Amino acid sequence: MRKSISVTLFSTVATLLVLGIAVMGLSQLVLFRRYFAQERYSTLDKVGGLALSTAGYFLQQDLPPEELDELLGKMSLIGQSADVHLFFTNSAGQVMLASNADALTADALPAELLAEVGADGPVYHALGMLEGTLTEESYVSAWKMVSAKGKTTGYLFVCSSGEMLSDFTKECWNNFLLSACLMLICASVLTSLMMRSITDPLHKISEAAQKFGGGDLSVRVEGVTGEGELAALAYTFNQMAANLQASDNSRGQFMGNIAHELRTPMTTIKGFVDGILDGTIPPEMQNHYLQLVSQESGRLARLIQNMLDLSKLESGEYQVNARMFNIYETLTGVALSAEQRINDGFIELEGLSADQRVLVYADPDLIHQVVYNLLDNAIKFTPQGGTIRFSVEKLGPEAEISIWNEGEGISPEALPFVFQRFYKEDQSRGLHARGAGLGLHICKVLVNLSGGQIRVESQQGAWCKFTFTLPTEPPNQNQMLRIPSETGSLGTEQPLPVDPV
C-alpha cells in the first residue's frame, strides 16, 4: 500500500528523534557511569586513607580485645559516614577486622586477588564481588600495608555498593523513555501542523490537475501564496493551464477560420461549376466564371500549402540550405511575380533597383517565401494608387530589409499579436482581409530559422512597415548558426550547410 506524505514524513521524523534520543541517552549513560565510578573511587580513596592513618599502625600490634572493639567501632563510624564498609586482612588474606561482617561471605581472600593488590600502583580499583568474597557487586579500593622494613603486614579493602549505579541506570532509562514519548508527541503535533501547510496546497494542485485532465481548462489553483516551492509549483501550474487554454482557444479559432476559409471557395467553386453544368450560366459567360473557379482553386491551394509549410517547419523536417546571395534579386523577383496584381491596383513600387547589391547569408527559398508573404500582405492592404516602398540597409554583420506600404495600418492593440499563430484581425487591416492568420507567423518562423528577427511598426490609418534582419556573412564557429527563439533571445544552434555562390 502506498504511504501518504504525512505518514512518510512522520515516520522519518519519529525515527530520527528516537535515534537521536538513543544516541544521546547512551552517550550520557557512558559518561555518567564513568563520572559515577570516578566519584565513588575518589570517596573510597579518601575513606581508605583516613582508615590507614587511624588503624593501620594499631593493627600491626597485638591489641587487647577491648581496644580492638573500640577500633572496630571507629571503623564502623567512618564507614557509615561515607556509606561504605571496610575490612582489614593480614598478609595471608584472613579477615581481621570488618566494619560490616554481613557484607562478607568468607573469612579469607584468595591469594590470586591479593597478588593483584599493589601490583599496578599504590591503590587497587575494581568493580565486582572480589572472587565471591562480597555479597553484592561493589566498587572496591584496596591498599597493601607494608611495615618499615618493607614486609607486607596486611591489606585494607574499602567497598561501596554497586546498587547505586543500577538505580542510576534505571533512572536514566526511565528519563529516556519519558523524553522519547514527550518528543514523539510534540513531533506528531508539529508534523501534523507542518504537513497541513504542505499537503493542503498539494491537494489543491492535485484536484486542479484532475479537473484539468478531465477537460476543464479553466480550472486554476487558488489560495496558494508565498515564495516557497509549493507556491512556485502552483504558479507554474496556473501558467501552464493558461497557456494550454490559450492554445486550445487559438486552435479552436484556427479550426473555425480554416473551416470558413475552406467552405467559402469550395461553395463558390461548386456553385459556378453547377451553374455551368445545368446551363444556368450561359456559354458566353462560362470563361469568366471558370477564371473565378481557377482563382478560388488557387486560394485553396495556397491555404493548404501554408498549413503544410507550417507543419513541416514546426516539426523540424525542413532542411535549411544557406548560401550567400543578393537580397535585391529576391525582392525584384517577388515583385515581378506580383506585377499583374500591382498593375491592377495602380500601386507604385519604390526602392527597387537592378544594379544594387547587398549579400546576405540564408536559404534563398525561405527568404523568397518571407518576402512573398510580406509583399502579398502589403498589396492586399494598399489602397488603389498607393505606394509600397522597399528598403535594404547593411548594419555591420547583418542586413535590415523593410517593406513599407500605405493603408489603414494596424491598431496599437493588435501590434503585439500579429506574428502569433492563428491570429487574424480583419478590422484593423481593412475590409478585404483574407487568410487564416498563418502568413505572418510563417514569416517569423522562417526569419528566426535564418538567424534574424522580424518586427512591425504601424501608424493606424496611414502606413505599416515590416522589417526583418539577416546575417551578411557565414557563421564562423563550426558552420553553426544560433537561431533566435520566439522571444528574440538566442536559442539552440542549427546547422546551415554552405552552398557555393
- Chain segment 212-221, per-residue pLDDT in tens: 888 888 888 8
Per-residue pLDDT of 212-261, as tens digits, reads: 888 888 888 887 776 777 788 888 888 888 888 877 777 776 677 667 66
| Mean pLDDT across 425-443 | 57
15-24, 50-59, 439-448, 461-470: least confident range: 50-59
Domain 5-167 CATH assignment equals 3.40.50.10490: no
| Mean pLDDT, the chain, integer | 79
Of the CATH numbers 3.40.50.300, 3.10.20.90, 3.30.565.10, 1.10.287.610, which one belongs to the domain with range 319-495? Answer: 3.30.565.10
Distance CA 350, CA 362 (A): 24
Q: What is the pLDDT of residues 86-95, one digit of tens each?
A: 888 888 888 8
- Parse the chain into domains and list their residue ranges: 5-167, 229-312, 319-495
- Averaged pLDDT for residues 132-144: 89
379-428 pLDDT, tens digit per residue, is 989 999 999 999 999 988 999 999 999 998 888 888 888 887 666 665 43
CA distances from 229 to 295, 412, 458 (A): 58, 38, 43
How confident is the model over 271-295, as a mean pLDDT? Answer: 87
414 versus 317: which is more confidently predicted? 414
Q: How far apart, in Å, are the Cα atoms of 464 and each of 280, 330, 344, 457?
A: 44, 21, 21, 6
Instruction: Give yes or no for residue 144 having a pLDDT over 80.
Output: yes
Residue 99: C-alpha distances to residues 10, 65, 499 (Å): 58, 16, 114
Whether the pLDDT of residue 489 is over 70: the answer is no
CATH class of segment(s) 229-312 = mainly alpha
Helices (H) and strands (E) in the chain, counts: 10, 14
Question: 163-213 and 229-277 helices cross at what angle (nearest 10)?
Answer: 20
pLDDT at 484: 41
Residue among 84, 87, 99, 89 at smallest CA distance from 43 = 84
Which range, of 25-39, 257-271, 344-358, 372-386, averages the lowest pLDDT?
257-271
CA 129 to CA 142: how far, in whole Å? 13
Cell of 126: 575494581
* Span 8-12, average pLDDT: 76
Residue 367 has pLDDT above 60, yes or no: yes
